[in-house]
Amino acid sequence: MTSEILTYTLEGTTAVVRMDDGKANALSDAMIDALVAALTRAEKEASAMVLVGRADRFCAGFDLRVMMSGPEAAKALLGRGSELLMRLYGAALPLVIACTGHALAGGALVLLTGDVRVGAAGAFRVGLNEVSIGMPVPVLAMELARDRLTSTELSRATLMAQIYTPDEAAKAGYLDVVVPAADVLARAKEEATRLGALARPAFIATKTRLRGKTIAHIRATLEEDMQSLLMPQA
């Protein structure tokens, strides 16, 4: 499975999904479609999935060209992207993320969906920058942050729009381990092999117990939250 922006390969029982749009790996309509298709395929034929970015760029978040083109287009993209994030967060197989570089806004949210997050050491920026650009942190982002980030960093990471280096991001909860950039993918594959050996039914049932309420809450509040974000009342 190969497109201009995403490559899917099955290496043993691990699905390796590579995002590379030649730029910053924005969550465009095309990227979202490709990621949903890749995850759906991986859940059918793989024991674990590795999601990896391009060198120095993991994911820049939602496509700004669409987000700035008008409220309806932005709402449509956010809705589709939110469903992708919920699919990743509740994936019916272990999801290991190889964070190869910068991960801001929606890119940081993708990190929060992973079961294990391996980050590249380097001069990279990770975090939710919404408040710094004049946008409230959406419920979806807040709840993922609440679930995954350390409690002592939650306010800084959301309310104060703190941006982290990889080592700082590991302490905050965006990443689980930071390794040299050349080792990121290999380490992620090792983690995928380890997690892929777990009993699948037990893994799925436990993930549902762990994350199911958060996913249900996000989906239940998504429409109202998007309305307030994109079309605030005067």
Q: Which two tokens stand for residue 212?
A: 């199911």
Q: List the domain range (segments joined by +) for residue 152.
A: 6-183
Residue found under tokens 């391996």: 118
190 phi and psi angles, rounded to 5 deg: -60, -45
Residue 153 has pLDDT above 50, yes or no: yes
Residue 217 included in any domain: no
Instruction: Judge whether 192 lies within some domain.
Output: no
Tell me: the pLDDT tens digits for 56-67?
999 999 988 888
CATH number at residue 115: 3.90.226.10
Average pLDDT of the residues of the chain: 94
**How far is residue 166 from each of residues 32, 77, 118, measured CA to CA in Å?**
25, 28, 10
Helices marked H in 46-95: 64-67, 71-89
Within a domain: 191: no
Residue 1 lies in a domain: no
Instruction: Look at residue 166 and tell me if it is in a domain.
Output: yes
Q: Do the domain assignments include residue 134?
A: yes
pLDDT, tens digit, 9 for 90 and up, residues 172-208: 999 999 999 999 999 999 999 999 999 999 999 999 9
With contact defined as beta carbons under 8 Å apart, do 145 and 157 qualify? Answer: yes
Number of domains present in the structure of the chain: 1
Q: Which residues contact 180 (CB under 8 A, 6 or more apart)?
A: 120, 121
Q: CB neighbours (10 Å) of residue 179?
A: 18
Query: Does pTM top 0.85 for this prediction?
Result: yes
Other Cβ atoms less than 10 A from the Cβ of 142: the count is: 19
